[in-house]
């Protein structure tokens, strides 16, 4: 198995007739999916998604792929193919289109409707190419064939990319539910046909590669949801992904059967379900939906609320309810249903929300105590099935953390893919398909680009480090008035602290030390402001560390006279 190496340098020039693949996100992480294909000087992009921040990235709203690799080649992009409408596959499209608004965006009907609604908020009018399964479209030198796949959102697609270098099958996110709620099966016959034609490289969803067997059918969840709503004595609040149309449909069906009205809460939830309803993917009986502003007028036993926040996102509706920071007030006897899987890394945030809801008297039903969610990603048995159907010459696991990628690679080896034809890459690693062989040939920059409010890319890792220090240790400011001619103090230092946990009266101990080092500095003829700032920071920092075993941010403020 070939794998990335920290010493990888820039890739060589792409050989004539070869295909280059560079993942700018989605490898070694769950989210930020984006793969760039290059052939004969032209580019094709598959997916362009975001990653949601974790606790060690305070203040960050979204994390984008780094577009530097393609920024000076935007005119060479033929199209962006979106495999489905989840945020980790479409969320970064508005930021890419800011760089070149006329890049054709390709996807299924629902995916295109969701991205168009998103782009409207960014005041961007996209160039759309709507496709359906079993169609073939050419984008420059890339001949693309689309296949239906079953996922946790309708209208998901896999794509086979044909070039003279060979056939690449990119599965997108998929599972093999044999009884899907929308009746749309993964096109295994199409995959088998491609396998007979000859798949030169398979790029396949790895999220559940460690999970044995096959995923549970979506239909097995509906009776559990129905039972939760039937037995609830007061309000039912269901938290789900804003794009999980199948799950919302199940909740709406159960609410209708038990005579409850439904209110949608959260801007993305309202937007996405409106799009799904208008396109016929969501069936809502007349009179069932009520405005969330009117919900308090209905008896609690007649109400179901569907909101966002199943991952513990701090600004989502459910988190705000748990914190008593929402118009909807959790009351004794309410039932809260977390109808989604737990994204890795969100465990602490979700547990905090569950505890907050329980504190106010709610009964919380989640995947840990009831079968209220099934994964949208194929388990190991299904991944083996696809590997055996397609019989790829080369294999590259995608969409997953390191443990998922390696587990999927082992599955490929079990089906007969030679070890030296299995490529385990990470973001930025360059893979070339040359003469039927896929090999790692170099690496390009593919770091995180942070979105903080309206700022894109301005927040750096250094800024996040400062935020973490401020959040964990607080800060101390020292105001020094210095005679710029001599470097001597012109007034006594002042020290102020916030969030450091240090008693202000104790600063009387360190002020003489600061005065001494500044006096010594002045005696040595040091008048440079930066040097003065450094010795002050060092002196105060040493005292805080020795006295409190803490490392707050120390900010010397020098006033020159």
Give the active site residues: 205, 377
407 is in an annotated binding site: no
Q: Across the chain, how many H-helices and E-strands are there?
A: 15, 25
Q: Which residue in 99, 106, 103, 96 sits closest to 46, CA to CA?
A: 106
**Beta-sheet strands, E only, within 369-436:** 395-398, 429-434
Residue found by looking up tokens 């919302």 in the block: 248
* End-to-end C-alpha distance for the chain, whole angstroms: 66
246 is in an annotated binding site: no
Pairing between strand 157-163 and 142-148? Answer: antiparallel
Cα atoms in the 13 Å half-sphere on the side-chain side of 59: 17
172 is in an annotated binding site: no
C-alpha 207: how far from its chain's center? Answer: 13
The phi and psi torsions of 31 (rounded to 5 degrees) equal 135, 175
168 is in an annotated binding site: no
Q: Is 151 exposed, middle or buried (0-12, 13-18, 19+ CB in 10 A)?
A: buried
373 is in an annotated binding site: yes
452 is in an annotated binding site: yes
Residue 10 DSSP class = P
**C-beta of residue 449 within 8 angstroms of C-beta of residue 63:** yes
State both tokens at 357. Answer: 């809801």
240 is in an annotated binding site: no
**C-beta of residue 449 within 8 angstroms of C-beta of residue 425:** no
**C-beta of residue 202 within 8 angstroms of C-beta of residue 169:** yes
Residue found by looking up tokens 């209708």 in the block: 256
244 is in an annotated binding site: yes
CB atoms within 10 A of CB 241: 24
Q: Torsion angle of alpha carbons 65, 66, 72, 76, nearest 10°?
A: -20
Residues 6+ apart with CB under 8 A from 19: 37, 38, 39, 163, 165, 166, 168, 432, 433
Sign of the C-alpha dihedral, residues 289, 292, 293, 298? positive
C-alpha 38: how far from its chain's center? Answer: 25
483 is in an annotated binding site: no
Q: Is 173 exposed, middle or buried (0-12, 13-18, 19+ CB in 10 A)?
A: buried
496 is in an annotated binding site: no
Residue 12 DSSP class = P
State both tokens at 515. Answer: 């005065």
408 is in an annotated binding site: no
Q: Which residue in 346, 451, 343 sits closest to 60, CA to CA?
A: 451
**C-beta of residue 201 within 8 angstroms of C-beta of residue 396:** yes
89 is in an annotated binding site: yes
**CA gap 6, 129 in Å, rounded:** 39
Q: Which residue in 149, 172, 141 sits closest to 35, CA to CA?
A: 172
**C-beta of residue 172 within 8 angstroms of C-beta of residue 156:** yes
**CA gap 256, 282 in Å, rounded:** 14
**Binding site residue list for Zn(2+):** 84, 86, 88-89, 151, 173, 399
**Binding site residue list for substrate:** 242-244, 373-377
**Binding site residue list:** 59, 61, 84, 86, 88-89, 151, 173, 242-244, 373-377, 399, 452
**Binding site residue list for Ca(2+):** 59, 61, 452
């Amino acid at each position: 198995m070939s794998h990335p190496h920290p010493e990888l340098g820039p890739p060589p020039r792409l050989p004539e007739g070869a295909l280059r693949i560079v993942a700018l996100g989605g490898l070694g992480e769950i989210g930020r999916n984006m793969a760039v294909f290059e052939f004969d000087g032209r580019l094709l992009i598959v997916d362009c998604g975001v990653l949601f921040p974790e606790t060690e990235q305070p203040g960050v709203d979204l994390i984008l792929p780094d577009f530097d690799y393609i920024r000076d080649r935007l005119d060479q992009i033929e199209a962006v193919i979106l495999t489905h409408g989840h945020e980790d596959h479409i969320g970064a499209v508005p930021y890419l289109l800011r760089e070149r608004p006329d890049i054709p965006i390709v996807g299924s009907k629902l995916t295109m409707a969701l991205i168009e609604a998103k782009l409207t908020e960014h005041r961007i009018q996209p160039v759309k190419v709507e496709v359906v399964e079993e169609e073939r479209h050419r984008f420059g030198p890339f001949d693309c064939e689309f296949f239906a796949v079953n996922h946790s959102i309708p209208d998901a697609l896999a794509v086979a990319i044909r070039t003279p270098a060979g056939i690449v099958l990119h599965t997108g996110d998929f599972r093999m539910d044999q009884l899907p709620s929308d009746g749309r099966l993964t096109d295994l016959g199409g995959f088998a046909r491609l396998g007979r034609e000859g798949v030169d490289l398979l790029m396949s969803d790895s999220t559940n590669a460690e999970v044995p067997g096959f995923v549970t059918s979506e239909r097995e969840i509906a009776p559990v949801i129905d039972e939760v709503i039937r037995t609830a004595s007061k309000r039912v609040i269901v938290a789900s992904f804003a794009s999980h149309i199948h799950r919302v449909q199940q909740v709406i069906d159960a609410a209708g059967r038990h005579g409850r009205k439904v209110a949608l809460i959260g801007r993305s939830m309202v937007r996405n379900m409106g799009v799904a309803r208008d396109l016929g993917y969501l069936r809502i009986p007349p009179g069932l939906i009520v405005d969330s502003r009117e919900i308090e007028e209905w008896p609690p036993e007649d109400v179901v609320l569907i909101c966002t926040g199943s991952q513990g996102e701090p600004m989502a509706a459910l988190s705000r309810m748990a914190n008593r920071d929402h118009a909807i007030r959790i009351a004794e006897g309410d039932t809260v249903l977390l109808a989604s899987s737990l994204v890795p890394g969100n465990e602490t945030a979700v547990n905090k929300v569950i505890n907050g809801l329980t504190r106010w008297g709610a009964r919380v039903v989640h995947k840990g105590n009831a079968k209220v969610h099934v994964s949208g990603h194929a388990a190991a048995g299904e991944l083996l099935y696809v590997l055996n159907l397609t019989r790829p010459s080369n294999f590259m696991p995608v969409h997953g953390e390191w443990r998922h990628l390696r587990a999927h690679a082992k599955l490929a080896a079990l089906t007969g893919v030679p070890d030296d034809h299995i490529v385990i890459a990470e973001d930025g690693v360059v893979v070339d398909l040359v003469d039927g062989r896929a090999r790692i040939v170099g690496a390009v920059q593919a770091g995180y680009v942070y979105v903080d409010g309206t700022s894109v890319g301005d927040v750096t890792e250094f800024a996040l480090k400062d935020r973490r220090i401020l959040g964990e240790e607080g800060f101390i400011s020292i105001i020094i008035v210095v005679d710029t001619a001599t470097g001597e103090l012109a007034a006594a230092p002042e020290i102020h602290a916030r969030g450091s946990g240090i008693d202000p009266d104790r600063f009387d101990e360190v002020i003489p030390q600061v005065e001494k080092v500044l006096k010594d500095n002045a005696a040595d003829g040091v008048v440079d402001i930066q040097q003065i700032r450094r010795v002050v920071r060092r002196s105060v920092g040493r005292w805080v560390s020795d006295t409190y075993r803490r490392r707050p941010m120390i900010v010397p403020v020098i006033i020159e006279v």
